[in-house]
Copies of this chain bind each other. A is one copy, B any other.
Amino acid sequence: MERQFLESVFKAQKFSAKDGALLADTLVDADLRGISSHGIQRLAWYSRMIKDHTLEPERQPKILKETPTSLLVDANKSMGQIASAFTMEKLIAKTKQMGVSLAVIRNSNHFGTAGYYSRMACKEGLIGISTTNTRPLVVPTNSLEAFLGSNALAFTFPADPHPFVFDGATAVVSSGKIQVLAKKGEQIPGDWAVDENRNVLHDAKTVEDNLAKIAFSEDRPGGGVLTLGGQDEVNSNYKGFGNSLIIELLTGILAQGSLSADTNKGKHDFSQFFMTIDPALFGDLDVLKANATKMFDRIRHLKHLPGTKIMIPGDREYRHYDENLEQGVSIDETTLAEMQAVGDEFGVTVPTEETVED
């Protein structure tokens, strides 16, 4: 039902049927995987982007430059998902010929979860890498103001019973994770965000309001999300800073688009970077896959803290996927109200159960 509602909204917003189905699939997929930060709760934001012409639903991506191992793509201000799936399909074909290929997309928008595209590569027996820059949110080491995006990275590797899927912001958390807590009225449980003096904040609503100012206006209030490694240089937060900078270089810089820092003014464009690698360059896929599977199993069974589990990246989302396919996805009150407003605007009926099934 979530899928049908989304497809109807996207159709009313003038996306083609194919593009609307892709967009709906990426949001439903995120909710099913328990990544509610990147699920239907983004719909209200996507709808606002159409209104302010950050996003042009009828446009299609264009290839600007192509070699046997690379693509430079102009997303043409359409939704990030559309240019990203288009690009990843082409990279898969190139890598089957050349062993490796990579692409950069400019003039793009939010692309959903990075993992969606890396998993496309993995289904074909390839290693998939997907990255994006974002609105400015993240404070570099020692900085009192945000500059970097949360800058997602996804990396997939074939394994059983499910692929290795590392998928997340290079920052401590994505802004979506804070939005979800704020919508539920919950507190931030860790050292995720700081104020203009780099003091850690725990009230999700306060942080969300501040991040919204940083990300969506030209105000420059201080503070933001921390880099991985936390508040203090002594715990190597400059490594998290470095990881985030690598994504800025591969996206905004290589694409000659905006830096995350500048997406809150004027052009509002995001850039994305993708790469696929054929592991068969180095060994038999089945052997490599079996070896990876064995390694993950050994790690899952290491001695661990009582009451905890050791989970391999992907374990949590594939478990959620199976459970949620059975039980349906539960959606918070704020997001339901936003769905209602979007539904009213475009004449689409919102599914009535609080538990909205796929």
Contacts and interface: CB of A to CB of B under 8 A. Distances in A.
Contact of A298 (B245, B249, B261): B261
A162 interface: no
Contacts of A281: 65, 67, 69-70, 72, 102
Interface in A204-260: 222, 228-230, 232-236, 238-243, 245-246, 248-249, 252-256, 259
The complex is assembled from copies of this chain, and their number is 2
Contacts of A172: 229, 235-236, 239
B242 A295 contact: no
A161 interface: no
B235 A191 contact: yes
A100 B102 CA distance: 8
Nearest to A230: B235
A63 interface: no
Given A190-B235, A232-B190, A282-B255, A249 B142 contact: no
Contacts of A303: 143-145, 222
A245 B304 contact: no
A222 B69 CA distance: 45
A104 B192 CA distance: 36
Contact of A287 (B191, B245, B256, B277): B256
A200 to B, nearest CB: 11
Interface of A: 65, 67-70, 72, 98-102, 104, 127, 140-145, 147, 155, 157, 164, 166, 168, 170, 172-173, 189-192, 198, 222, 228-230, 232-236, 238-243, 245-246, 248-249, 252-256, 259, 261, 277, 279, 281-283, 287-288, 291-292, 295, 298-299, 302-305, 308-313
